[in-house]
Structure 1
Amino acid sequence: MVSSDANVISSVITRDIAPVLVRRVRQLTDRAQLTFARVTTFSFVLISMLIAISTEGQGVVLKIVVDLVAATMGPISIPLMLGMLPWFRRSGPTAAIVSWAAGLSVWAYIKWILESTDQAMVVGVPLVTSLVLYVAVGLLRPENTRDRDESIESLESDAAEQPSRA
């Protein structure tokens, strides 16, 4: 695990996960948040190193990282990237959550129930599942809102090119 991975994990835990799970974390001072982030970073690096040492170089840490990326990257990237495109205005939060959850579930089924080691299947099928469901739910249950339409339209122009209203 490289330092950038540890920093990203620490940032996600410190800013996104811990405040939701532990109310006290929301009330930490800036200094305490920094300390919490440093302890989290150190802990992840330490755990990764302990796993690597205890498995005697069998590549377990790398396998865990590859599995996590395969499990989450495809299903998360579909709503994340397509949600910014004007063609997918109808797809809202319901489509995003359904496609993500289904993609992750399909990955778990392929990986743990079917016990497939075919990397194309482990990565591709959840991605396609997420894509199909994101489009289908958007078509069957559209969630157009004025705010979403305005946000998408704002992506079509550069604010720096707009004349200022002074």
Structure 2
Amino acid sequence: MESQIFIRTASHEDWSKLGPLKLQSSLGWGDHIDELLALPEARYVPAAHVPFVIVAELAGEIVGFATVLSGENALQAELEDLFVAPNVWRRGVGAQLLAEAERRAVALGAHALHVIASERARAFYEASGFRMIGMVATDFAPAPEMHKDLCRFSSR
């Protein structure tokens, strides 16, 4: 029987685990390996973000995390991070983290959630109701800029 995924707010004790998980997830596709290994941001989550980080645990181990920040526009929140350990990809961890990120964005007063996704993650976000609004330059390649209207959550 498979363990249940537990979603919670990160603690400062979790901080040291987030950077390595971010790098592991980023390397999981096998793209841009040398560039990722050379980029300090690929293995780092600012400590100041920890209060805004949601972690997913499976069998007591952190297997994913998402960061939701207030956006430049008060009505839009930013999904800064969503990373899942490759060994649990396609088991619902990302979907549960995204659902909680959406709830947290609404709690911040946002009516929409914005994300700069990798091209590989684009289908995941589209299946979750995001729409592409453009492309932006990143360190490695152009990436989809995506938006999701959260108004349906705010009436609850």
Common fold by TM > 0.5? no
TM-score category, normalised to shorter length: under 0.3
TM-score (norm 1): 0.25
| Structure with the bigger percentage of helix | 1
Bigger Rg, structure 1 or 2: 1
